[in-house]
A and B are shown apart, each in its own frame.
Chain A
Amino acid sequence: MSLRIVVTVKYVPDATGDRHFADDLTVDRDDVDGLLSELDEYAVEQALRISENSDDAVEITVLTVGPEDAKDALRKALSMGADKAIHVEDDDIHGTDAIGTSLILAKTVEKAGYDLVISGMASTDGTMGVVPALLAERLGVPQVTLLSEVSVEDGTVKGRRDGDAASENLEASLPAVVSVTDQSGEARYPSFKGIMAAKKKPVESWDLSDLDLEAEEVGLEGAYTTVDNAAERPARTAGTIVKDEGEGGKQLAEFLAGQKFI
C-alpha cells in the first residue's frame, strides 16, 4: 500500500506589506512581496506528520495555481520536506475566482492522482475558506475540513473539528479532502539540508491545455463574480491617547460614560 497526498498551497502577497488592488480590481501582486500563505504551512506540516507516522510509502506532492513567482511557495514547501511539486501556470488564469480555482485544482489532482488532498483552512489574501469544500464537491469525495487534529490509518481519515458550539470527531474513507487549522500543530522550519535538497526536487509545470480546460472557463472572463469597486478605507481619525499617571482607569471610565457605554 502506498498513500499519495497532494497539498494545495497558495502564493499570496505578504499581509504585513501594503496590499492593494491593481487597475483591473484584482490583487496587485507586483508591489508587495509574495510568500507561501502561512496557513498552508500547517497543511504541509500535517502531510509530513502523516508520512512520518505511516508504515506505508507516502508520496507528498505540493500544488499551486499561480503566476511565475508562485514557484517560491512550492520551493518553501519542498524545503520543508515535500517530495515533488506541480505548478499550474497560464496567463489566462489571471483573475480566477473561487469557483474557477476549485475547477483548476480538481482537474489537477485528478490528473496527478491522489488518495488524500490537504489544504489550509483559508488563504491569507482572499480568506474565503471555501476552496477545500468546493474541491470535495467537485471530486465527489468526503470533506473532512477545519481539523485541529488529523490522522490517517487503514484507508480512513479521522480528525477533530472545533466549531463554535461544539467539538466534533469526524471520520471518512479515503480518498478525501482535508483542511487543517493553525491549531493543528506548529509548522517546522526548513533545515539547511532541506533547502539544499529542495533545489533538486522535480517541479512540473502544467498549463490549461494540460488540464483540458478552456481559457473561458477560468480567469476574469470565466469568473462567476464581479468586483465593481474597491476603495481604501479612510484612515481612522487620530484618537485621544493619555498616559496613565494613576488616573488612567478613571479617565477611561469617563470616556466610556461620554460614549454612553456605561
Chain B
Amino acid sequence: MKARAFSYFRAHTIGEALEAHAGAGDDVRFIAGGQSLVPALALRLQAPRILIDINHIAELRGITRDGEWLRIGALTRHCEMLTDPLIAEFAPLLRAAAPFVAHPAIRNRGTFGGSVALADPASEFPAMVLALDAEIEIAGASGRRRVKADDFFTDLFETAIAPGEILVAVHVPLFQAGQRIAFDELARRRGDYALVGCGLLATCQGDLIERIGISFFSVGDVPTRARHAETALTGNRIDAARIAAAQAALDADLAPADSDDVPAAMRLHLARVLLGRLLGRIGEAA
C-alpha cells in the first residue's frame, strides 16, 4: 500500500503555507504529524497531488500562558502533552487523556492540533477540547479568528476550518482551584480506539457542583457534550441518586450508531457505566 505520487513542499511560516495552498488549488493537503494522514494516503482514501509540510513552522509550536488562557500550539506532540508542566498544572484533563492516545511511537510524532483538526469522533483530544470550552485559533487568507469548541465540530471529520485554513493553536481556560477532572475510556485493547470514552471538568463550591462539562467520544459522528446529564448535576451534590439521574439523562444526549459488533444499546450502557465511574471519582475527591 503506497500513496499516490505527489509533490512535496516544506513551509517555514504560516504565510508561506497559506500562499502555497492558495496557489495549488483544491488537490492539496497540509501534513503535520501525519499519523492519521499517512495511513489514509497509503490506503488511497486520500490522494492529493500536493502535500504541504507544516512541521517546520515555528509559530505553531510551544505551550504558553496567555492571561486566563493556556495557548497550546498546534504542533505540540502528544508526548509533550504528557510531560509539559504547564499542561499538567493548567490543563490536567488533557494530561489525563494523553496516555490513552494511541501508542508511544505515535505519540512521539502525532500532534495535538492535528488531532483536533481531524476531528475523529473516536479521538480523545477533540472531545476534551469540547468539555473544556476551549477556543480554536485558525489562520486563513483573510486573517485570524477564534472559534468556540461548541461551534467547531460540525460533522463527521468536519470542522469550522475552511479549505486552505490552518489550525494555529488551541486556547484552553486555565484550570482553577475548586475544579475537578476525570477521564477514562473502555477499549478492547490498550491503545485501540475506545468503545466509549468520557472526560469531564467540574467546578465545585464545597461539594456542590456549580458547573460541569461532560464530553463523550466514540458515541456518534462528532465529539458530544452530554448537556442533559450536565443539567441533572448542576447545583447538586454528587450522590447515588444524582449519579443515577445523570446516567438516565444520557438517553437524551447520546445516539450511538448500531453496528454488528457493538449494538447501540451496548454502547449507551457502557457510556452510563463510564459516567457513573467518573462521577464516583470526583465525588470521592470532595
Whether A and B are associated in the same complex: the answer reads no
Residues in B lying within 8 Å of A, measured CB to CB: none
Taking Cβ atoms with an 8 Å cutoff, the residues of A that contact B are none
